[in-house]
Amino acid sequence: GDSVTQMEGPVTLSEEACLTINCTYTATGYPSLFWYVQYPGEGLQLLLKATKADDKGSNKGFEATYRKETTSFHLEKGSVQVSDSAVYFCALTPSSGGYNKLIFGAGTRLAVHP
């Protein structure tokens, strides 16, 4: 079945460091791909998304490119801030069956220190 694999955390960085969180997926067809962020004690917020191959989603300095050839959707940011500390979830919705199911990766915890 469809699945999402994320790099294990936690990821610990100093402020202004570069961030990459790897995400790869297994799915038939062309799923839509998402990154969600969960701040401590809160629900998930949509960070960015891409719905077709080669699309780049971007928001708040984060970006991710839908790579069909490598089945990847890696999250990147050039300079992280302490306020970026959170858990990041990569997810997909299958191309078949409409948008009725989000399949999540396990989540990657990011800790940014001053």
Partner 1 sequence: GAVVSQHPSRVICKSGTSVKIECRSLDFQATTMFWYRQFPKQSLMLMATSNEGSKATYEQGVEKDKFLINHASLTLSTLTVTSAHPEDSSFYICSARGGRLADTQYFGPGTRLTVL
Task: Provide the binding-site residues for partner 1, judged by CB under 8 A.
Answer: 32, 34, 36, 42-46, 49, 51, 89, 93, 99-102, 104-107, 109
Smallest separation, CB 57 to partner 1 (Å): 11
Q: Least CB distance from residue 87 to partner 1, whole Å?
A: 8
As measured in angstroms, the least distance from the Cβ of 106 to partner 1 is 5
Q: What is the 3-state secondary structure (H, E, C) of the chain?
A: CCEEEECCCCEEEECCCCEEECEEEECCCCCEEEEEEECCCCCEEEEEEECCCCCEEEECCEEEECECCCCECCEEECCCCHHHCEEEEEEEECCCCCCCCCEECCCEEEEEEC
Count the Cβ atoms, other than its own, within 10 Å of residue 16: 11
Q: Closest separation between CB of residue 77 and partner 1, Å?
A: 21
Q: With respect to partner 1, which residue has the nearer C-beta, 14 or 60? A: 60
- By C-beta, is 60 or 101 nearer to partner 1? 101
At 23, list the tokens.
Answer: 């995400």
Nearest to partner 1 of 17, 102 (CB atom): 102
